[in-house]
């Protein structure tokens, strides 16, 4: 199989169909597009759990590990509480690397009010680069829980910030020397600094108060992958205006240089949301200083249309994220 997410058809055939045990206290379990598991704790509050590995880059791994996990929890409308970390390091690693990762993790946790609650750190020949696997724990009142599968026919589709911002930042850092032959240093610095936009915790809080029906953090597979997953989880069709999808010029130009599709580029920091009144949601987000736009709506059926003027295309199942192409 190719590097990246396991294809949806393989997940359905070889993973989900092999899972038969069910417990009544598990409110939300494994499913296409669902980032979190939900366990009933008390009559009015639930724990929200999420897990993710960091494999696409070695730079700022600690920060990314915490931020991406917090984003998954925020996508469920949950308050991030803490994390459990599994850190696997190759034999070539030195103690300075462990310290650096720990400092990055601690700094990110401090910004988000989270605690490292435990974990495991190991040097192993099984990996050839550092690997961080994070389990996140959050909490939310039961009535405020939001899932990827909550979108309804007639809802507006909204995105926050811009697509591809995480991938753009990673590429600008990983390929800085090569890119300097084409772009100016200030241009690249702006692209690298996109990592300051990676948290979706602020828009999650605004969205929950605005009556959002579904949220999904745009990660591997980019906006096209996230739209597919939201559609499948919610059992709705989509009509999306391509030109309405917000994208930064830095993302456009860097993707053109590497011949990448920015709509399939990892985009943590961009939240996909649905709501009955998308314009009010956008207005509320902008009042909070968060850029957002209505990009389409949920419709009857299963078709996932991307409309570009007079042309209409249809979304395909998510493919390997474009980010991995820069390492070939």
- Based on the fold, state whether residues 51 and 137 are members of the same structural domain: yes
Q: pLDDT at residue 318 above 70?
A: yes
What's the domain count of the chain? 2
In a domain, 27, yes or no: yes
What are the residues whose beta carbons fall under 8 Å from the beta carbon of 122, sequence distance 6 or more?
86, 87, 88, 89
Kindly state the average pLDDT of the residues 288-304.
97
- Based on the fold, state whether residues 60 and 205 are members of the same structural domain: no
What are the residues whose beta carbons fall under 8 Å from the beta carbon of 237, sequence distance 6 or more?
231, 298, 299, 300, 301, 302, 303, 304, 305
In a domain, 179, yes or no: yes
In a domain, 1, yes or no: no
| Mean confidence (pLDDT) of the chain | 90
pLDDT number for residue 134? 94
| pLDDT band of 1, cuts 50, 70, 90 | very low
pLDDT number for residue 55? 73
Kindly state the average pLDDT of the residues 80-107.
87
Q: Which of 109, 144, 179 is a domain's end point?
A: 144
Assign residue 135 the CATH number of its domain: 3.30.1330.10
pLDDT number for residue 102? 87
| pLDDT band of 8, cuts 50, 70, 90 | confident
| pLDDT band of 11, cuts 50, 70, 90 | low
- Based on the fold, state whether residues 131 and 106 are members of the same structural domain: yes
- Based on the fold, state whether residues 140 and 265 are members of the same structural domain: no
Q: 3-state DSSP call for residue 258?
A: helix
Counting residues of the chain whose pLDDT is more than 90, the rounded percentage is: 62
- Based on the fold, state whether residues 24 and 57 are members of the same structural domain: yes
Q: Which of 95, 122, 144 is a domain's end point?
A: 144
The string of pLDDT tens digits covering residues 195-204 is 999 999 999 9
Question: CA nearest 130: which of 153, 157, 154, 100?
Answer: 100
- Based on the fold, state whether residues 133 and 185 are members of the same structural domain: no
The string of pLDDT tens digits covering residues 14-68 is 666 766 666 676 788 767 777 777 777 788 898 899 998 887 566 788 888 999 9
Question: CA nearest 204: which of 287, 272, 259, 130?
Answer: 272
Residue 319 — φ and ψ, nearest 5°?
Answer: -110, 175
The string of pLDDT tens digits covering residues 176-224 is 999 999 999 999 999 999 999 999 999 999 999 999 999 999 999 999 9
SS3 content of the chain, % helix, strand, coil (to 5): 40, 25, 35
- Based on the fold, state whether residues 209 and 264 are members of the same structural domain: yes
Range of the domain at 223: 148-327
In a domain, 3, yes or no: no
pLDDT number for residue 40? 78
In a domain, 170, yes or no: yes
In a domain, 20, yes or no: yes
Is the distance from CB of 270 to CB of 319 less than 8 angstroms?
no
Q: pLDDT at residue 95 above 90?
A: no
- Based on the fold, state whether residues 137 and 181 are members of the same structural domain: no
Counting residues of the chain whose pLDDT is more than 70, the rounded percentage is: 93
Kindly state the average pLDDT of the residues 280-302.
97
- Based on the fold, state whether residues 281 and 202 are members of the same structural domain: yes
| Region of poorest pLDDT, from 33-42, 112-121, 161-170 | 33-42
- Based on the fold, state whether residues 198 and 122 are members of the same structural domain: no
- Based on the fold, state whether residues 31 and 85 are members of the same structural domain: yes
């Amino acid at each position: 199989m190719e590097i990246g997410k396991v294809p949806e058809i393989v997940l359905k055939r070889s993973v989900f169909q092999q899972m038969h045990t069910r417990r009544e206290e598990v409110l939300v379990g494994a499913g296409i597009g669902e980032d979190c598991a939900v366990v009933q704790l008390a009559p009015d509050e639930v724990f929200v759990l999420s897990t993710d590995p960091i494999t696409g880059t070695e730079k700022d791994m600690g920060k990314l590990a915490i931020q991406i996990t917090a984003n998954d929890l925020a996508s469920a409308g949950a308050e991030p509480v803490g994390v459990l970390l599994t850190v696997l390091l190759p034999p070539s690693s030195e103690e300075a690397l462990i310290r650096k990762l720990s400092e990055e993790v601690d700094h990110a946790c401090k910004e988000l009010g989270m605690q490292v609650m435990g974990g495991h750190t190991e040097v192993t020949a099984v990996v050839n680069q550092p690997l961080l696997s994070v389990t996140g724990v959050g909490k939310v009142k039961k009535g405020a829980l939001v899932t990827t599968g909550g979108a309804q026919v007639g809802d507006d589709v909204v995105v926050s910030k811009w697509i591809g911002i995480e991938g753009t930042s990673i590429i600008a850092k990983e390929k800085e020397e090569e890119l300097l032959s084409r772009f100016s240093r200030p241009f690249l610095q702006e692209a690298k600094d996109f990592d300051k936009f990676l948290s979706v915790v602020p828009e999650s809080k605004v969205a929950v108060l605005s009556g959002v029906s579904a949220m999904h953090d745009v990660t591997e597979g980019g906006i096209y992958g996230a739209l597919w997953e939201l559609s499948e989880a919610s059992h709705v069709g989509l009509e999306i205006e391509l030109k309405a999808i917000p994208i930064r010029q830095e993302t456009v130009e860097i993707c053109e240089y590497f011949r990448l599709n920015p709509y399939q580029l990892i985009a943590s920091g961009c939240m996909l949301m649905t709501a009955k009144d998308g314009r009010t949601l956008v207005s509320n987000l902008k009042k909070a200083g968060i850029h957002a736009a209505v990009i389409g709506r949920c419709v009857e059926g299963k078709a996932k249309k991307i409309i570009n003027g007079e042309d209409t295309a249809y979304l395909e199942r998510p493919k390997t994220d474009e980010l991995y192409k820069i390492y070939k």
